[in-house]
Amino acid sequence: MASQVTNYKCIACGGPLHFDSDTQKLKCDYCGSLYTNEEIEQLYKEKNEAALQANQELLDSFDILHFTDEEMAHLHAYSCPSCGAELICDDTTAATSCPYCGNNTVVPA
């Protein structure tokens, strides 16, 4: 049994795909495109690998993400009370806003 639910999108138009029992393929209700499960899984696998590689290249290019031990000692992580995102702040931060949801947050002392 699958441990994860995946919602695939149409390659042609971006609409949601659903399994069509008549054709035994994934079908887009918007443009009518048909795909085999293998085609979609291969495409998503390639896209995910390319995204991971691009993300790693981007991370490697940022020197700001490489903190010294002294800098790390002054950083603290908090959870946004609105969306649960991790907020990284230094010792001097008293209030901040979440970059994901925009919620203003007072940082605990």
Q: What pTM value is reported for the model? A: 0.46
Taking the C-alpha atoms of residue 53 and residue 82, their distance in angstroms, rounded to an integer, is 31
- Cβ neighbors of 10 (< 8 A, separation 6 or more) are 16, 17, 28, 30, 31, 33, 35
60 and 33, same structural domain?
yes
Taking the C-alpha atoms of residue 11 and residue 31, their distance in angstroms, rounded to an integer, is 10
72 and 54, same structural domain?
no
Pair 51, 43: CB distance under 8 Å: no
Residue 58 lies in a domain: yes
21 and 52, same structural domain?
yes
Strand-pairing partners, residue 97, are 104
- Domain count of the fold of the chain: 2
53 and 73, same structural domain?
no
102 and 86, same structural domain?
yes
Residue 11 lies in a domain: no
pLDDT value, residue 17 = 92
Q: What is the pLDDT of residues 79-89, one digit of tens each?
A: 888 888 888 88
48 and 26, same structural domain?
yes
Question: Which residues of the chain register pLDDT less than 50?
Answer: 1
pLDDT value, residue 32 = 93
Smallest CA-to-CA distance from 85 within 66, 69, 101, 71 is with 101
What domain range is 77 assigned to?
67-106
